[in-house]
A and B are shown apart, each in its own frame.
Chain A
Amino acid sequence: MEPVHHELAGEPTFAPMIQIEMEIKTFVSAWRHCDYVSTYMARMISQNRSDSVRHSNLFSSAFNELLEVAFRSRHGDGELACRVSRHGATDRIELTFPCVPEERQFYEEAMSQATGTEARERYLNSVSGDLAPSREIVLLELAVDYNAILRVEEADGNAIRLVVDLPLEGLRH
């Protein structure tokens, strides 16, 4: 596996841990793939955390939401790649998948809202509201309940990459 490189100055180096790739058509052929992938990767990367079972449960919970968001996106052809890397107490998920241009704009807006100061209030309003949770709200919840830091990165071709840093090791309940 290739090491993860980041061009931002001062950005810590995240050491790669695991990567899974599959055709996006294969991924969206069955909903349970979200559960499979999130559960499997959570177990693999949690072994050397201070409480592996608890960490795995939390990681799977957050990662599954991200996979479900990707599942519900409109896609072109291409591959889904899930990569997890680590820096200290933080695990980084990089989820790359093909995406039509309108969807890219949606993700950029959703991610900027998730990092805003009103994220918590927006999330609470959505829980008390009548509508089913949108994908945007799911991303908000990652920021609110898991202290996740989210951003969108450019990826090759017609793909998008969601980068989510999860500081689960330090997360108190």
Chain B
Amino acid sequence: MSPYDLLPRFKAQYDANNQEFSISGVVRPQAIDELGPSIALLRGAIDRVRGVLYVNVRRLTQMNNAAFHAFSRIIIDACRARPDLKFVVITSSVVGWTSRKFGRLSGIEPNITIEEYDSEFYPGQGFLEEGGFVPILRSQTKMTWRHERAILPRHGMRQGIVMADICCGIGDFAVLVQKEFQPARIVALDHSKSSLDYARQVMREFDIRGIEYTYGDASEMLLDEAQFDLVTCRHSLQIFNRPELILKELYRVCKPGGRVYITNEKNSHCLGEPRAESIRWTYNEVAKLFGHFEMDVELGPKSRRYLMEAGFEDIRVETFMVTNLDGDPQDFADIIAAWADVYAGEMATRRGDGPEFVARFRQGFQDHIFAALHPKGYAGWPIWVASGRRPQ
């Protein structure tokens, strides 16, 4: 028997609280008998539920026709036997075939509907993904790169490695890494199709090779396990409502002995002189505002705990401060202005903040810009870098 035979290929579960049957992994049986326990579980779920049964196939990587037919048959039969029961099949836009294949079922039985899980991956992130934000993202990466290019080798970056950049956004970090460190291969994943389109356009225009951009959900990736020497995930755990799910996936795709590298902020520690008090007040409020939308932009110093709890060892943590002295102070000021537009604009409006609050909130950003551009001023944006090794 090979090690392959010992690996669990798929898993079926039933969550009674949510009335959700889920099946994940690779389901390619030769005979339907091999699905016996899973089919019994689905039948049992159908017998117990009222109203709606959710069938979650978001993490179903593969399913052959024999298995698809077996499960479909049970669902279709249940629709005919119990017209009161509705089925909602939750597919993933990442797994290309699932929506097409399961989508056929709704054409057969009207009580079966298909919901494709897609834009709701990251609640609140829509604020940060509008097209106008791209130049700001580029400026941010340019400013952090001055520091990270020196820091990365201490966290496992070296020539010839196989790496993944998860939540790669517009792909500019992957491009900088490719030029500076020449890894053998970079897989760069993001859930934003428009960001990936931009990244691919840049790759074509500048004839960049060695980066594979792929569409996916960081908390449920199609990538095989244990294949990367280094997995980077920058500024993303902090804007995900359940960062531990992403870390679990980063751990899974990292090779034993490889490292996972994360960067995050602690927004309340943004600082500036002069006008320090106003700046401090505003960034404290930024943290609360993100908290309202289930994002933790105070996560930076918590990185060590998160990595430990995810099972990593040899955890290394360091910080750096992006400042107005990193190149052109106007770049720093432009970033703050963009933050002000989004945070004191759409986000504050969405939370229902009044004009008085918004005016004071916005003033702090103005004062931060003032500090950045002042000939004797100093303005800072602190970043926490952390990495951990997956045990051998």
| Chain A residues with a Cβ under 8 A of chain B | 31-32, 34-35, 47, 50-54, 57-58, 60-62, 64-65, 68, 123-124, 127-128, 130, 132-133, 137-138, 141, 145-146, 171, 173
Contacts and interface: CB of A to CB of B under 8 A. Distances in A.
A61 B63 CA distance: 8
B194 interface: no
Nearest to B213: A51
A60 B62 contact: yes
A139 to B, nearest CB: 10
A53 B104 contact: no
Interface in B95-118: 95-97, 99-101, 104-105, 107-109
A122 to B, nearest CB: 12
Interface of B: 4-5, 26, 28, 30, 32, 61-62, 64-66, 69-70, 72-73, 76, 93-97, 99-101, 104-105, 107-109, 187, 189, 196, 200, 212-216, 222-223
Contacts of B26: 35
- Chain A binding surface SS class: helix
A53 B214 contact: yes
Contacts of B5: 32
A127 B61 CA distance: 20
Given A124-B108, A145-B101, A173-B93, A133 B65 contact: yes
B211 to A, nearest CB: 10
Nearest to B61: A57
A29 to B, nearest CB: 12
Contacts of A62: 97
B97 A58 contact: yes
Contacts of A52: 187, 212, 214
A85 to B, nearest CB: 21
Given A61-B97, A64-B28, A64-B62, A130 B73 contact: yes
B108 A54 contact: no
Given A127-B72, A137-B65, A173-B96, A32 B4 contact: yes
A145 B200 CA distance: 27
Nearest to B80: A128
Nearest to A128: B108
B222 A54 contact: yes
B215 A54 contact: yes
Nearest to A35: B28
Given A128-B76, A132-B66, A145-B97, A53 B222 contact: yes
A171 B99 CA distance: 12
A61 to B, nearest CB: 5
A79 B90 CA distance: 41
A99 to B, nearest CB: 20
Contact of A61 (B62, B69, B200): B62
Contacts of A47: 212
Given A53-B216, A53-B222, A173 B62 contact: no
Scoring B62, B216, B222 by chain A CB atoms within 10 A of each residue's CB, the highest score goes to B62
Nearest to A60: B62
Given A34-B28, A35-B28, 19 more contacts: A31-B30, A51-B213, A53-B214, A53-B222, A54-B96, A57-B61, A58-B96, A64-B62, A65-B64, A65-B65, A68-B66, A124-B107, A127-B69, A133-B66, A138-B65, A141-B101, A145-B100, A146-B97, A173-B100
A-B pairs, top 10 by smallest CB distance, nearest first, are A31-B30, A53-B214, A52-B212, A128-B108, A133-B69, A58-B96, A173-B96, A145-B100, A133-B65, A61-B97
28 contacts: A32-B5, A35-B62, A50-B200, A51-B196, A51-B213, A51-B215, A53-B187, A53-B214, A53-B216, A54-B94, A54-B216, A60-B62, A61-B97, A62-B97, A64-B28, A64-B62, A68-B28, A124-B108, A127-B69, A127-B76, A128-B76, A128-B109, A132-B70, A133-B66, A145-B100, A145-B104, A173-B97, A173-B100
